[in-house]
Amino acid sequence: MKELYLGDFDKVIPEGMKPESNVEIMITPLDLVTYWKRVGILVDFVAGFYTYSFLPADKPVQDISGTPVFTSISTVFNEMVENAAKYSMDKKSRIKINLNQYQNIFKMQIENSTSIESAMNFYDVMKEIFQGEDLELMYIQKLEDNCENNPHGHSGIGIMMILKDYPVKMGVRVRTDEENSAAYVLIEVYYDTSSGD
C-alpha cells in the first residue's frame, strides 16, 4: 500500500502524549446521505460533548451552543463529515471517526474509502491548498471559478474556509491499494481552543 502525506499530519501532538479524552465512531455514508439531517445531529453531539472540556469551570454557561468553541467545532467537524460521506466510494463502507482531547487541543480524524482516482484528485487539491501563499485570494478565486464552471468533484472550498477562518492545523494521509482498486483518505484537524475562536 502506498502512502502520501500532506500538511501537519501527525506533527502537532508530541509523540507519546496520551489524550485526556477519546471518542471513536463508526458510521456508513449510507447512514448519512439517506437521512442528511443525521450529519447535523452527529455534529451537534460531538460539539456539545467536547465544548464542555474547553469552557472555563468558573464561568458556567447556560447554552453552550452559542459559545465560540461549540460553533468552531461544529463547523469544522461538519465539513469533514460531509466530505467523507459525499466522496466515499461504497455507501456501505465505514467512515472511521476518532476524536481526542489533548489539554486545549481538539484533534478530529475522519477516514473514508474511495476510488484511487478520487483520492488522487483530492490529494492534488489539498497539495495546492497547502502550498498556496494567500488562502483568502485562493478561496475567492475558487468561488468565482465554481460559479462560472459549476464543477463536480473536489473543489476544496470547505477546506480552505476552515484553514482561513479557524485556528486549526490540518494534515492528510492518502493510502492507495492498487490490488483492490481502493484508496483510504484520512483528514486530521487540530483545533486550538485556547485562541478563543
Where do the H-state alpha helices sit in the chain? 29-34, 37-54, 68-86, 116-131, 135-149, 157-165
Statement: residue 32 has pLDDT above 90: no
Confidence of residue 154 (pLDDT cuts 50, 70, 90): low
**Residues 46 and 23 sit within 8 Å (Cβ to Cβ):** yes
Statement: residue 73 has pLDDT above 60: yes
Please give the pLDDT value at position 108.
98
Q: Any residues with CB less than 8 A from the CB of 41 and at least 6 apart, and which?
A: none
Sheet harboring 105-114: ordered strands across?
2-7, 168-177, 182-192, 105-114, 95-102, 21-27
Please give the pLDDT value at position 110.
97
Please give the pLDDT value at position 196.
60
* Higher-confidence position of 147 and 93: 93
- For residue 65, CA distances in Å to 19, 45, 61, 83, 146 come to 24, 11, 10, 23, 32
Return the SS3 of 24: strand
* Higher-confidence position of 89 and 22: 22
Q: Which domains does the chain have, with CATH numbers?
A: 2-195 (3.30.565.10)
Average pLDDT over residues 61-79: 91
Residue 129 CA to residue 109 CA, distance in Å, equals 19
Q: State the angle between helix axes of 135-149 and 157-165 in degrees (0 to 180), rounded to the nearest 10.
A: 150
Average pLDDT over residues 114-130: 93
Average pLDDT over residues 60-84: 90
Instruction: State if pTM tops 0.75.
Output: yes
CB atoms near residue 136 (< 10 Å): 11
Cell numbers representing residue 145 in the block:
471559478
Residue 44 CA to residue 31 CA, distance in Å, equals 16
